[in-house]
């Protein structure tokens, strides 16, 4: 617990805004319906945003996480590579189990009785099922939480959270998910990274208590 609290304190630029997101997101879901939240975001569209969100959504793609893993290998941080790999495996298993257990309809299927209501982009394939939770959002938050934890410049945590939130926003904009899907995905991704990394961090403290055990890279 002490290790976890220490990590939260050191990475306040990421976790404090994340806490605001959690509280704010919970309030939005209290005061607005499932449908209202989705339509408010999905209907605020523009041609330039269609293009931008198409690119932004790939932030949460598994390939992007794989690129991060490759870069960690370039820095020869093999234990970090193993830790990040465990994070990806853990959140992927959790999301896939949840998706197939709940098997919730995605917006295109949910609103199928009202054609034209949902804004879609012609070059994006819109899925119909396994909406909850959002895999892209989970991956994005897992990746950016991990980056916030391992980077020396802790102020960059705010930028990492912003990118993760953009990825979440894009999933609703592109009619792939509802708000609750990305909300829960953000919690799974962030918690998964934090727990796995804290266990890794604690084990290093026990093995080498005389040195600073936090293995960090880049963004000095």
202 — pLDDT class (breaks 50, 70, 90): confident
For residues 68 and 73, give the distance between their C-alpha atoms in angstroms, rounded to a whole number: 9
Predicted local distance difference test score (pLDDT) of residue 213: 45
Chain CA centroid to CA 179, Å: 13
CA distance 185 to 137: 5
Which domains does the chain carry? 2-207 (1.20.144)
CA dist 219 and 64 (Å) reads 18
Q: Is the pLDDT of residue 208 over 80?
A: no
Residue bearing the bigger pLDDT, 217 or 78 = 78
- Residue 211's pLDDT is 42
Q: What pLDDT score was predicted for residue 154?
A: 95
**What confidence tier does 215 reach under pLDDT thresholds 50, 70, 90?**
low
Whole-number average pLDDT of the chain: 92
Mean pLDDT of 183-188: 98
Q: Is the pLDDT of residue 32 over 50?
A: yes
> Which sign does the torsion angle of CA 187, 192, 195, 201 carry?
negative
**Look-up: residue for tokens 């002490």?**
2
Structure tokens at 40: 């408010």
Confidence check: pLDDT of 149 > 80? yes
Residues of the chain with pLDDT > 90, as a percent, come to: 87
pLDDT of 212 reads 47
Phi then psi for 43, rounded to 5 degrees?
-85, -10
pLDDT of residue 220: 44
Cβ contact 107:134 at 8 Å: no
Query: What are the pLDDT digits (tens) for 84-131?
Result: 999 999 999 999 999 999 999 999 999 999 999 999 999 999 999 999
The 10 Å Cβ neighbour count of residue 116 is: 7
């Amino acid at each position: 617990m002490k290790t976890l609290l220490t990590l939260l304190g050191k990475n306040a630029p990421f976790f404090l805004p994340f806490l605001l997101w959690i509280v704010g997101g919970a309030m939005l879901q209290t005061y607005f319906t499932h449908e209202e939240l989705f339509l408010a975001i999905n209907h605020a569209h523009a041609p330039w945003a269609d293009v931008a969100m198409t690119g932004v959504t790939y932030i949460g793609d598994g390939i992007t996480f794989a690129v991060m893993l490759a870069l960690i290998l370039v820095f020869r941080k093999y234990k970090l590579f193993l830790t990040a790999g465990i994070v990806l495996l853990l959140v992927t298993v959790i999301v896939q189990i949840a998706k197939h257990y709940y098997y919730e309809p995605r917006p295109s299927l949910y609103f199928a009785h009202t054609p034209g209501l949902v804004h879609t982009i012609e070059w994006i394939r819109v899925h119909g099922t396994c909406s909850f939770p959002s895999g892209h959002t989970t991956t994005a938050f897992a990746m950016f939480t991990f980056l916030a934890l391992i980077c020396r410049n802790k102020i960059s945590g705010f930028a990492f959270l912003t990118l993760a939130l953009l990825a979440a926003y894009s999933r609703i904009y592109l009619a792939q998910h509802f708000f609750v899907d990305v909300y829960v995905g953000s919690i799974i991704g962030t918690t998964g990274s934090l727990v796995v990394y804290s266990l890794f961090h604690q084990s290093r403290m026990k093995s080498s208590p005389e040195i600073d055990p936090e293995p960090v890279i880049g963004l000095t």
